[in-house]
Amino acid sequence: MNPFEVTRLGSTDVRVTRLGLGMAPIGGLYGKTGDEQARATVATAWDAGIRYFDTAPLYGNGLSERRAGVVLQDKPRDEFTLSTKVGRPLAPRPVSEQDIWAEPGPDATHFDFTVEGTAASYQESLARLGLDRVDVLHIHDPDDHFEEALAGSLVTLTRLRAEGSIGAVSAGMNQAPMLADFVRTGELDCVLLAGRYTLLDQSGFADLLPLCTARGVSVVVGGAYNSGILADPRPGATYDYAPASATVLARVLAVQEVCARHNVPLRAAALQFPYGHPAVASVIVGARSPEEVRDAVEMASHEIPGQLWRDLKGAGLLPGEVPLP
């Protein structure tokens, strides 16, 4: 698979590389990254050929956007695609408040999917990035706010697209059913589906992915490692941001055994599996260091024999009906 091949999102003029950089880790997800390492991570992705970058106000409570902008401000604006998110803007909070971000600052996110809140969130993101536009805006995790997001964020995003302020309208979630509801509005160009079309979890295949294919809506897959276990399966590894059960770990180890028989790293199979579905335009991979970026590029480029996928199906480790890369 060529990770630097460029494909279009929906019917828009927005184009992404098949491999994108997810920038939650450079916001200090679960561990400190530091400004220098964060800059080096984004720069390494650029030098490798990645031209799709995804961030959000939530990631490090603005830190990811600021760190990404330092690098991307110096790149030719028409040569990369950038997405960020709305619906979770920042507000002041006590510095002592702790969360999953290891480099706490003075702000934290809260939910606001109103028209006014969405418009303000976008402008605040641009200020942190130091850029005059992003290409894709995702409505971020509206799980408990669907009606508000329809009446607020979606209305604002479609207006921004009509004005030419953004190129594509999207929603990003860790679940498939509500994303399908957003697609049915007819207003989305793409969706960001995190952790629900992977070697471990193909729940997005039942409804969302066929719907996107039929509607011409592109799918960006995030969480291809399911928060860690598909990168390094061991006791204590995380699956969906919690310690994996013994059952899940056993299943991953069985997948890894099949991969080993074909001399294929598990990480390569995990990264490349989503590309088998025609709706999938790009897979974004989080990285916190240049080494992790280089590994992702290597895994996305690794040659995988078709027999490996057939063996996974034969062993009952992949559903028989899912399309293969």
Q: Which residues are catalytic?
A: 59
Are 221 and 280 within 8 A, CB to CB? Answer: yes
How far apart CA 191 and CA 240 sit, in angstroms, is 19
How far apart CA 121 and CA 131 sit, in angstroms, is 14
Are 307 and 262 within 8 A, CB to CB? Answer: yes
**Strand 90-92 relative to strand 190-194: parallel, antiparallel, unpaired?**
unpaired
How far apart CA 73 and CA 76 sit, in angstroms, is 8
Amino acid, res. 90: L
Amino acid, res. 210: P
